[in-house]
Each structure stands twice: as structure tokens, then as C-alpha cells.
Amino acid sequence: MEQIAFLMHLKKGSEAEYRRRHDEIWPELKSALSDAGICDYSIFLDEPTGNLFAVLRLKPDDMREKLPGLPVMRRWWDYMADIMDVDATNKPIERALTPMFHMD
């Protein structure tokens, strides 16, 4: 299983709202992520900077590239756009992280 990690950025003062929205994540979005081959997905907050560190595992033959075309994904991005740094399409701005060390 492939593991990837990336950074996103949360707007200052939005921490509680971000957590609330994820605590109430839509079942249809969870299904779409799982169907795309995403599993074991965690997001961590670095409070001083507002950086969100995400790490997830991808099943073989994942289809994550199809997620941006799904209506539920677009609605989630629109829903989150007011509290995160996003691009012109409301997709959260992500910066991929380079793996440097892993220990099983």
C-alpha cells in the first residue's frame, strides 16, 4: 500500500470549525474516498502555524484522480473554502511532502 503525505493551511481562528466539520463528515464523502482507494487517512494540526499535515494510504490501483470530478467532492471543497487556503476552484491548496524516513 502506498502512503502519501501533504500540507494544507487552515485560516486563523478556524480550528474548532474545521474539527466540527470533520467530526460530522458526510457519509457519502467517506464512501467516495474509500471507493477511490483511500484508507487510513489522518489530518493533524500544527497550531502555531495553522498548517494541516495529512497522511493517507492508497490501495493498489487507487482512483483518487477521479475525486475532483465527483459532485460530493466539489460540494465538500465549497463547504470548506471559507476556512482553508484554496485555489480558484475551491480545492484546498496542497503541498506534497517528500518521504525522508520510515520505520515499520
- Give residue 40's domain range: 2-96
Domain for residue 69, yes or no?
yes
Domain for residue 103, yes or no?
no
Confidence of residue 69 (pLDDT cuts 50, 70, 90): very high
Residue of 22, 30, 46, 79 marked active site: 22
- CATH number for the domain spanning 67: value is 3.30.70.100
The count of C-alpha atoms lying within 13 angstroms of the C-alpha of 99, restricted to the half-sphere facing its C-beta, is: 9
Domain count, the chain: 1
Give the pLDDT confidence of 36-51 residue by residue, as tens digits. 999 999 999 999 999 9
Please indicate whether residue 22 is annotated as part of the active site. Answer: yes
The pTM is what?
A: 0.92
Mean pLDDT of 61-77: 97
pLDDT at residue 104 in the model: 85
Mean pLDDT of 14-29: 98
Mean pLDDT of 18-28: 98
Domain for residue 101, yes or no?
no
Domain for residue 90, yes or no?
yes
Domain for residue 104, yes or no?
no
Domain for residue 42, yes or no?
yes
